A and B are shown apart, each in its own frame.
Chain A
């Protein structure tokens, strides 16, 4: 039954991608290859980030461990600062995609999240979820992949908004603040879970609520700007 369980995890993490790809109109554009390209840029960006982290933050291997008591906010903060490179990567991706705002955002966001899933979660699922030992964490990981779709789509939308020249002036600070929120999402979540002692399911629920709330705000702004542009 363990392969079956792996199948369950895989279904939970991948089918939402397929649903979004298929029913948001991307399949009509034949945008699959573009998504893969976005994924390739993701991989390159991660490589650059790794080089940077290895060069400038070689202090300790502690943060590799999931020890919740061993949590240093400063280090996490610095690490998240390096994540800002992701934004550059995303804007590069979007600059290379010709198309409407919606398609651009969807292709870049989906490709980005999909590459993240393949590169950072698939191996863990393969090794872990197929073992005889059952653990809820693989289902949780799979569900987290769904959250990351929402997360990356809203990040992409924000990057797109930021690159627009017709963005109303009064919205610029809001967009920048939201970008900040998204970039430091993981450190914010870690901090809150550390303070409130939230682990596993409650942390997952918190992440989901956080991401969806952010996404709704972004959607609100994006909708306004996109319809203005239209």
Chain B
């Protein structure tokens, strides 16, 4: 009997078996490796606080079974869907029914999409970013493996709605499920974050403190549905590239002996952070310069010129909060810009657009409004006609390919000529021959800037960030008084807050439902019963075969 055998074994080991089991099994459990399954990178939806409002997906870890979007029982499941299947009303339904998590598959190639698809993605992004979402929401790039998984999940989900109970049972047994898991720590608030501004100056001729200043501003950060997917080509790598090219051109111009030498203006160049977060960087720099002690930069500012999205479009729009008076320097600037455009690029239209600052709105429409609020004359140059509300122009679709470098070069040339004629008070052209705008430089900058995510949360770390260092070093080559200032989080009244776990690795295990295991047990029991009866009746079979043989061998 069984017990006898156990005794036999325990005699062999001279030690009670249960002790061995009690010790061995837990050790084996701890030591046993887990079989890895399919793994793929995922990017989490934005997760940040701004001005006391919470945005985006608020949690990061998940371990749920996968379902397709039309499932009837989404509670504690991870719904996996293509981005064009996303629709807000279905999303709200899912949330109400207690869906566990969302995995959204975006096309692997974001550059060649149909217009419908682009619209879909933009709408989805806008919708997801406009609210606080309690569940984890992840994005991933489309791949063959994911496609297979998605199709199989879709098929098995359709079995959920089988007509009869037997069908449903059979469906449950034959179904192939997937368990999706993102491990790691729960997303937590980053404590050591900061938003950095980089400023530099090109001093004019004369007593530096008494000269008027002209400021050129561009924000360098990017924005999109997921921090690690936002590369911000047009908005605003194009603005940064344009600013850096202006820096290069004007530093060369003012060091040239033949021209009228130095202009009677100071030129200030400012790269601001947090541009997608309601222009927090500009806000900080204004507070420092106007309210602070050093006060120099904006003392005699004639106007601030903000560059935002210059890499595309046939037109250039100058946005102002207040129409400039005739004869004021900003008025002259806009006039000259129009004239230059008409003279050099007749196909191009330059418009001035006037929009009052809407103080009731949570978000400012353009960067110049930050300056206008502080009673500085300011304007934003952009190819966009209207500012989008909230997180304007920030989308994962805005990659390197959304910048047309020759259009950007044209815009830079136009701005440079206009600025120069304003500074030197003579008409150009200044930037021809070896002083011409370099498309190559612009292209290099755009490539460099769009090669990694520049979202505020990924740039926010204290440890010397490569992008900011790179920009600072470039400014230092051409400008004087280059300095980096940081906006840090106020502990008591935080203006912004970023969270970690912006990306992760999702593991997909192919699993069977619990009922399948029960079914398997039943099958195995039936099989074992057959084996049992086979062994029981074995002697009959043996008798038949051996008797047969016996008679033969006797006869032989």
Contacts and interface: CB of A to CB of B under 8 A. Distances in A.
A127 interface: yes
B191 interface: no
Contacts of A32: 5, 8-9
B112 interface: no
B553 A19 contact: no
Contacts of A226: 546
B12 A33 contact: yes
Contacts of A127: 32-33, 35
B37 interface: yes
Contacts of A11: 521, 524, 528
Interface size class of B (residues with CB under 8 A): 35 or more
Contacts of A27: 1, 5
Nearest to A220: B545
B28 interface: yes
A135 interface: yes
Nearest to B531: A16
A100 to B, nearest CB: 14
Interface stretch (A1-9, A81-89, A113-121, A199-207): A1-9
Interface residues of chain B: helix, strand, loop or mixed (majority) = helix
A126 interface: yes
B23 interface: no
Contacts of A222: 546
Given A19-B535, A33-B12, A132-B179, A221 B512 contact: no
A12 B546 CA distance: 30
Interface residues of A, number: 40
Contacts of A128: 35
A121 B243 CA distance: 67
B347 interface: no
Contacts of B8: 30, 32-33
A133 interface: yes
Contacts of B35: 127-128, 131-133
Contact of A133 (B509, B528, B538, B545): B509
B92 interface: no
B374 interface: no
B259 interface: no
A228 interface: yes
B524 A8 contact: yes
Contacts of B538: 24
A227 B551 CA distance: 10
A18 B34 CA distance: 30
A116 B12 CA distance: 21
A133 B32 contact: no
A223 B511 contact: no
Interface string B531-556: 11001101001100111111011001
B517 interface: yes
Contacts of B166: none
Given A5-B517, A33-B12, 6 more contacts: A8-B517, A8-B520, A19-B532, A23-B532, A223-B545, A224-B549
Interface of A: 1, 4-5, 8, 11-12, 15-16, 19-20, 23-24, 27, 30, 32-33, 36, 126-128, 130-135, 139, 146, 168, 170, 216, 219-224, 226-228
7 contacts: A12-B524, A12-B528, A20-B535, A23-B536, A132-B179, A132-B509, A216-B545
